[in-house]
A and B are shown apart, each in its own frame.
Chain A
């Protein structure tokens, strides 16, 4: 009896240790990058000998970094709007309608998740060259949409599949047109999924490197592309400073999504308890 309890205690501690190792492995790069960003040195250095915020100042005062940031932001906003609205419409079609070729359509939409990114990137690159959009911001927006749209479709589809369609029928029975019923009843209920999809697409676009390298030109430099170039050619602590800014932005967005989800779900849970 005593013996078996010891085994379980050991197993429990073992599990905790394992989880801690995994977390450490995931967090270590951040623990290196963030201090390096506050270094006084002109080289990437860890741990830094003197502290300063000069690399942040350099980032904020450098026109090419600012242009890249602004481009990234514009692209990410456009991509999240496009991907989410496309995801919403395809989710409706895939979940609500039964038709020949539905599974084929689903496979095509989800293909970018399965096909190696580099293949997609090369394909998009040739396509962009063919239509003569190279160096155009729209080329970036559309190519990012191709790879974020499957995520949006998956997230919204699962919410829509869970949604009780009889609620929408009830709204129609009470005098709402089908479209009105969707916007008044169905959409508000699946709203958390739509917001999550929006934020997810934003982050994915901000983060996208592989396709961006192929598609972006000198006039359409994005933050991720600029970072990539910085790592290859400059290796000064500005990239650590920019990375830190990106880490903070991503964390804030993920946290916001989580809080929002918690708040929206929480209201229903609290009310269910009473």
Chain B
């Protein structure tokens, strides 16, 4: 199985060469086994980390497939970095187990886990040249001089820094330094790559450029990646799946589309983009449910719910799904109101609208050349039933 896997993929994957046979490697050296040549799956089961009475991570269970790109997204203090450091081995979980492939690594010291890691502050060794930095993990694995030279060259080509081998890290720009850190984390072909806000220290333009680059490299080498970030755009654009964390717990796991379009909780909806939240009471349920908000707005929704008629729910609708028009829409479903605030954001126009019954709505309109609607103008806000989803009362935490 392992044989066929590696031979099947050897044509597709980055050919960084092969490690020498590792039969009689001493037990204290990092393991380099055949199954780890491409990405490995990783599973966290009921992982808990407590510091005294404070619980940093509670009952975290998550299975990540080989080759998957998964982001941990959450505000600071949500436990995403703690979780990452437990996978890396720098923090030992209080309870639970972590499996890499089918090996239990919960208590394995970090230097024997064979996991690549990229840090926000790059953590390049200032006293070593770029070449020596990238060669470091190979030297720790006791590769021969020639093999090291060839692999370092290939890794530097991968991040397009082949001409910088003799520079010292401080002679490079931030973006270049992070590329070196990436090359250093990849050069030993780790089955798992951890990235802790790797682009956090870079400016927006460079960040977007490197996001693309990281994705390109990840597709090429098919390594499993766990990417910690607090930047929702980064998480949505790069990941196969996003894990939204809050207070040391997983709030929701799903593909970027699932999370954005059907968030299960108010927190997820608010953290990934913005949303209008309307507290309401269910009037009727069915293919199209009807709810009445506290301000008396009657809203139709095709969102599914288990809640029964008469129970309190939260309705959510994204600002970009709220259409703003100066005249009533043809089927008379628009809610009449006034513009309270209008802002110009280049690609969008953002409006705050106060409906006649007092309901406040945010609406975004793509800037396709229509003039900005002036504040205090009378407008109609409308949306389709499928643009509204229902968050049960339990999801309001």
- Interface positions of A (Cβ within 8 A of B): 164, 166-167, 169-178, 180-181, 184-185, 188-189, 267-268, 271-272, 274
- Residue of B90, B112, B114, B171 touching A169 (CB-CB under 8 A): B90
CB–CB B126/A177 < 8 A = no
With a CB–CB cut-off of 8 A, which chain B residues contact A184?
Answer: 136
- The binding surface of chain A is classed by DSSP as helix
Contact A268/B111 with A170-B123, A171-B136 known, Cβ cut-off 8 Å: no
Asked if B115 is at the interface of the complex by the 8 Å CB criterion, the answer is yes
CB–CB A175/B125 < 8 A = no
CB–CB A174/B170 < 8 A = no
CB–CB A173/B168 < 8 A = no
CB–CB B136/A172 < 8 A = no
Q: A164 vs B188: C-alpha distance in the bound complex, in angstroms?
A: 24
CB–CB B115/A173 < 8 A = yes
Asked if B137 is at the interface of the complex by the 8 Å CB criterion, the answer is yes
CB–CB A170/B171 < 8 A = no
With a CB–CB cut-off of 8 A, which chain A residues contact B136?
Answer: 171, 174, 176, 184
Residue of A nearest to B115 (CB): A173
Asked if B184 is at the interface of the complex by the 8 Å CB criterion, the answer is yes
- Residue of B109, B127, B140, B171 touching A174 (CB-CB under 8 A): B140
With a CB–CB cut-off of 8 A, which chain B residues contact A166?
Answer: 119, 121, 123
CB–CB B170/A272 < 8 A = yes
Residue of A nearest to B28 (CB): A177
- The binding surface of chain B is classed by DSSP as loop
With a CB–CB cut-off of 8 A, which chain A residues contact B185?
Answer: 174
12 A-B pairs with C-beta separation under 8 A: A164-B121, A166-B119, A169-B123, A172-B110, A173-B88, A173-B89, A173-B115, A174-B188, A180-B140, A184-B136, A185-B125, A271-B168
Contact A175/B119 with A189-B126, A268-B170 known, Cβ cut-off 8 Å: no
With a CB–CB cut-off of 8 A, which chain B residues contact A189?
Answer: 125-127
The contact size tier of chain B is 20 to 34
With a CB–CB cut-off of 8 A, which chain A residues contact B388?
Answer: none
CB–CB B171/A274 < 8 A = yes
Q: How far is the CB of A177 from chain B (nearest CB, A)?
A: 5
Q: A221 vs B126: C-alpha distance in the bound complex, in angstroms?
A: 46
- Residue of B110, B125, B137, B141 touching A167 (CB-CB under 8 A): B125
CB–CB A176/B121 < 8 A = no
CB–CB A173/B111 < 8 A = yes
With a CB–CB cut-off of 8 A, which chain A residues contact B28?
Answer: 177
Q: A192 vs B192: C-alpha distance in the bound complex, in angstroms?
A: 37
Interface flags, B85-105, vs A, CB<8A=1, else 0: 000111000000000000000
Residue of B nearest to A169 (CB): B90
Contact A176/B140 with A185-B125, A189-B126, A268-B126 known, Cβ cut-off 8 Å: yes
Q: How far is the CB of B137 from chain A (nearest CB, A)?
A: 4
Asked if B117 is at the interface of the complex by the 8 Å CB criterion, the answer is yes
With a CB–CB cut-off of 8 A, which chain A residues contact B109?
Answer: 172, 177-178
